[in-house]
Structure 1
Amino acid sequence: MTLLEQYLEKKKELNYFGHATGLMYWDLETTAPDGAKEKLSDALTYFSTESFKKSTSDEYYNLVTKLAEPEEFEKLDDVMKFDIMRNKRDLDKMRRLPAEVYEESVKVTNKSAIIWPKAKQTNDWSIYKEPLAATIEMTKKVKSYTDPGKDVYDALIDDYEEGMTQDTIDKVFGDLRQELVPLVNKVVAAPQPDSSKFTFKVPAHVQAELCKYIVEYMGMDMNRFAQSETEHPFTTNMNIDDVRITNHYKEHAFIEPLFSAIHEGGHALFEQNVDHKYEGTAGASISYMGLHESQSRFYENILGRNINFWKPIWPKMCEMIPELKEIGIEEFYKEINHVQNSFIRTEADELTYCLHVILRYEIEREIFKGNVTVEDLPKVWNQKMEELLHITPRNDAEGVLQDMHWSDGSFGYFPSYLLGSIYDGMFLEAVEKDLGSIDDILAAGDIKKITAWLKEHIHQYGATRISSEVLDKVCGQELSAKPLIKYFTDKYTKIYNL
């Protein structure tokens, strides 16, 4: 076999391991009974560790290194050139991490991830703080090997949004906060819609059916899609042809799961729409989470909270939820854009959501500066909620325990949500420049035109363009919060008659 053929055989084996561990994680989070989770977690740890060993072995590394040499590299096509460059960079980094430390990190985060739902459901911070502290220390330990000499939190941010730093985030978040806080204060002081109209019961199975209908309407290929239920919604993919989302249905609050489905559907469309030529290569592994969140939040907010998104499918909505006939689409529109200072990030409106992310970013930054301890976290969290949203959580379940991200060691992920929204303001301008008013497109039921535009300009390239490159090629400008600020100001001034 040629050098490339040997590499592709090893790559295929690693992809099989990735598929297997992906299925185990899916099962662990969705249908596995509680009594089976410990053994399943052990199996996941074993296969993850074996995969890590194979992917960082001398044999695999030597193949990558030889293919990265100029004589061999120039023989490769563009897809394989990107794959080799990315793998060489990542291998140089990961081979600095001893296998026993990697195995230890998987065990620590798996334990934390298993305990977190129990702590949240029982509102018991005491059972979670020790596993969380261990996860934080393990994160620092791992980074000391993979990114020696680099600020730990900058390294974590870079893991989720390549090229991004705390300095850049501080600037754009600061610009947004300066304009957003007075706008939120004005909106919250204005007359509010009556949310009590939307507390009627909608059975979980009806919600699940409606969510499937909506993601298909957005452009999802349902032959390559699956949906299940978990405590915290997420998206995962085994490969381009097997993309899955989860949801958490609430019978007396159906709007929340509806928008969770649209959000996760945006993630899933990005994964589905990657060009198949990148299948099994680094080009299909999209780790730029600001860019990924921009796609989920573009569907959720820019499109999903636009009244015209719902006009073409309103008859179907009323057929599945008859109570909506009496309420009407105008009241529904006001409710889905109801701005209020609330406790739960995933249930927040698109305006105050920004403040939820800023809160988490500032706390994470201080954790890794050594200024906030795990013991302090509930108190610090509540102080930040009061400072930014003028409310104090009644308990830890609606405060510091509400998110799953810290339980699996995803520190540095939270900023990507707000970065994604900031990108969206820029993408909205680009879409309308090319296609015209999104109001008109949505009202005509042509949302798939927008999905096709996103596929053409963003999705198809997978991981081959980092976020800053996408902004340059699609928007022709550097990162700026100004377009998002304009979108917010125009929209909510009109809705609330400010």
Structure 2
Amino acid sequence: MPKFENPVIKELIEKYRRLWALNHAMSLMGWDEETYMPSKGVEERAVATAELRALYQELLLSDQFVSLVERAKAQENLNDYERGVVRVVDRELRIARKVPPSLTYEMAKTSSEAFMAWSEAKRRSDFSAFKPYLQKLIDLNKQMAEKLGYEEVPYDALLDLYEEGLRTRDVKAVFDVLGPGLRGLLDKVVSDGYYTVPSPLEEAKYQEEAMRRVNQRVLELLKFPQDRARLDVSPHPFTTNMGVNDVRITTRYEGFDFKRSLFSVVHEFGHATYELQVDPELAMTPIGSGVSLGVHEGQSRFWENVIGRSRAFASLIKPVLDQELGLTKGISEDDLYRYFATVRPSLIRTEADEVTYNLHILLRFELEQLMINGEVKVDELPEMWNDESEKLIGVRPKNDAEGILQDVHWAHGTIGYFPTYTLGNIVASMMYFAFSSRVGDIYSYVTRGDFDTVKSFLRDLVHKYGATYAPKELLRRQLGEEYNAQRLLDYLSSKYLKH
């Protein structure tokens, strides 16, 4: 039965295709900019991207398109897919109408300047050079929140930009469970010592060409469709999708600690698989891609952590590592697994393990609320960061580069983004338990390399719906609950307290 039958919805989808085509072009341009574009092409690319974004806004807010959306909203007896189309487009229109172009321009301009200032400030480990830009970006985000509107607190409006329907109270409820739970779990894991032993592989150097072969062979094991997707190299690993049949992922090669490159690939594979398994009937429609950052992160964390950092996966790929890389020939499967699943309190979020990672997010969540509520001065942030890091994670930054300057997000003006990382970890654990109860022991499938069964389960659970349902509704429908933080604690406990 066709997904779209209402004539007004069909007309809306047809008109939307031009907007989709612009997004397709901008996605491809963004991917090219991060991978193969000559360095001197950046100025013209910036102009081209800005012009396309302006054209997109012009088409979105045109009287013809707005009136068509209003007609679609008035339709009755729509099916779930048709309602999803209306929800997604109407939300995009609402945001575009409420945020004036002058504010959008000022945010983009300040972010560009702030990124350059942050880069230099981080290099010199000097927060004072970045401070005025952060103050301005906080002020602009406050203005953004007021323009967008909110029912409870200003931070809600910013959270909603990155995770539809997410509220501050939702995130607080998550960390009320995770905060003490993770601290207690971390103390037990450190006391036990099994997962905290440093591995010589952390410092071992590798040849890039050999690691490229490893990554390609691992993707073959995972059944990465080479005719619909590809792997490239970029300074920071990412995934971008042009459509349901063209998804690009990247990794990087640092020359040591090979799991960094490997798990970047497995992580991005999770993002890519979500997009590749959206129902083809939803292609080129407003609901033809993943629904939110949190749900998307759930897919990547599921593959990276639940599957990738497992004993079964270590055993499965050890022959590949032995043959192509050679560094693992002298160690046992158990030592390889512990290298993958190491737990060690550390300063840098992007290098954090499964147990401590969300404590890094809690730190940022607490500071962002204070920033947006005007309850902290920018001058006070570095010391507050250091104090919270010591209290939550047990390590204290020695300088600004290790502390408040380590992440790029605030330089980009993206306040409200960080909590989606923790939501992703929660969603991943919820899917793990769903697989266990509905299919069986997932690691028996990993041991056999039966990833088709795993991917089919995820497709039917989440992927095929694209953005048909809002994030919370999707989780309620398919998993029976929203962001259940206890699931993450249960998953981590089952993994790290039993060996």
Return the TM-score normalized by structure 1: 0.91
Alpha carbons 1:187, 1:492 under 8 Å: kept: yes
Distance across 1 between alignment mates of 2:219 and 2:122: 29
**1:275 deviation in Å?**
0.9
Secondary structure of the structure 1 residue equivalent to 2:396: coil
- Quote the residue 1:128 is aligned against: 130
Distance across 2 between alignment mates of 1:310 and 1:320: 15
**1:432 deviation in Å?**
0.9
1:225 to 215, 229, 232: 229
Distance across 1 between alignment mates of 2:389 and 2:186: 15
* Alpha-carbon displacement from aligned partner over 1:91-115 (angstroms, at most 9, x marks no partner): 1332122233333333333443455
1:455-474 to 2 correspondences below 5 Å: 455-474=459-478
1:439 to 439, 443, 451: 443
Distance across 2 between alignment mates of 1:449 and 1:274: 16
Alpha carbons 1:228, 1:246 under 8 Å: kept: yes
- Quote the residue 1:12 is aligned against: 17
**1:326 deviation in Å?**
0.7
**How many corresponding residue pairs?**
491
**1:220 deviation in Å?**
2.4
**1:34 deviation in Å?**
4.6
- Quote the residue 1:25 is aligned against: 30
**174 and 8 in structure 1: CA distance in 2 versus 1, 3 angstrom threshold:** closer
Alpha carbons 2:150, 2:157 under 8 Å: kept: no
Q: Which moved more, 1:33-42 or 1:299-308?
A: 33-42
- Quote the residue 1:42 is aligned against: 47
**1:159 deviation in Å?**
2.1
1:57-96 to 2 correspondences below 5 Å: 57-70=62-75, 79-96=81-98
Distance across 2 between alignment mates of 1:116 and 1:205: 33
Distance across 1 between alignment mates of 2:117 and 2:276: 32
Distance across 2 between alignment mates of 1:101 and 1:416: 24
Structure 2 residue runs of 5 or longer lacking an equivalent are 1-6
**1:40 deviation in Å?**
2.6
Distance across 1 between alignment mates of 2:235 and 2:119: 7
**100 and 301 in structure 1: CA distance in 2 versus 1, 3 angstrom threshold:** same
Alpha carbons 1:263, 1:299 under 8 Å: kept: yes
**4 and 369 in structure 1: CA distance in 2 versus 1, 3 angstrom threshold:** closer
Distance across 2 between alignment mates of 1:52 and 1:139: 20
**21 and 375 in structure 1: CA distance in 2 versus 1, 3 angstrom threshold:** farther
1:259-338 to 2 correspondences below 5 Å: 259-338=263-342
State the one-letter code of the partner of 2:224.
M
- Quote the residue 1:347 is aligned against: 351
2:114 to 112, 115, 121: 112
State the one-letter code of the partner of 1:494.
K
Distance across 2 between alignment mates of 1:108 and 1:139: 11
Secondary structure of the structure 2 residue equivalent to 1:324: coil
Alpha carbons 1:94, 1:146 under 8 Å: kept: no
Secondary structure of the structure 2 residue equivalent to 1:223: coil
Distance across 2 between alignment mates of 1:22 and 1:226: 15
Secondary structure of the structure 1 residue equivalent to 2:328: helix
- Quote the residue 1:382 is aligned against: 386
Return the TM-score normalized by structure 2: 0.90
State the one-letter code of the partner of 1:428.
Y
Secondary structure of the structure 2 residue equivalent to 1:244: strand
**1:453 deviation in Å?**
0.4
**1:371 deviation in Å?**
2.0
Distance across 1 between alignment mates of 2:257 and 2:71: 56
Distance across 1 between alignment mates of 2:209 and 2:355: 30
State the one-letter code of the partner of 1:84.
V
- Quote the residue 2:430 is aligned against: 426
Distance across 2 between alignment mates of 1:377 and 1:143: 21
**150 and 37 in structure 1: CA distance in 2 versus 1, 3 angstrom threshold:** farther
**1:3 deviation in Å?**
6.3
Secondary structure of the structure 2 residue equivalent to 1:330: helix
- Quote the residue 1:160 is aligned against: 162
Distance across 1 between alignment mates of 2:222 and 2:209: 20
**1:24 deviation in Å?**
2.9
Alpha carbons 1:108, 1:138 under 8 Å: kept: no
Alpha carbons 2:267, 2:303 under 8 Å: kept: yes
2:211 matches 1:207: yes
* Alpha-carbon displacement from aligned partner over 1:14-47 (angstroms, at most 9, x marks no partner): 1222122223322333344554434432332222
State the one-letter code of the partner of 2:54.
T
2:171 to 161, 169, 172: 169
**279 and 101 in structure 1: CA distance in 2 versus 1, 3 angstrom threshold:** same
Distance across 1 between alignment mates of 2:130 and 2:233: 23
- Quote the residue 1:183 is aligned against: 185
RMSD: 2.5
State the one-letter code of the partner of 2:233.
E
Distance across 1 between alignment mates of 2:239 and 2:31: 10
Structure 1 residue runs of 5 or longer lacking an equivalent are none
State the one-letter code of the partner of 2:65.
Y
- Quote the residue 2:60 is aligned against: 55
- Quote the residue 2:3 is aligned against: none
**3 and 425 in structure 1: CA distance in 2 versus 1, 3 angstrom threshold:** closer
**1:270 deviation in Å?**
0.8
**1:234 deviation in Å?**
2.2
Normalized per residue, the structure richer in helix is 1
Alpha carbons 1:357, 1:418 under 8 Å: kept: yes
Alpha carbons 1:45, 1:106 under 8 Å: kept: no
Distance across 2 between alignment mates of 1:92 and 1:163: 14
Distance across 1 between alignment mates of 2:489 and 2:474: 20
1:198 to 180, 183, 202: 202
Secondary structure of the structure 1 residue equivalent to 2:247: strand
Distance across 1 between alignment mates of 2:262 and 2:467: 28
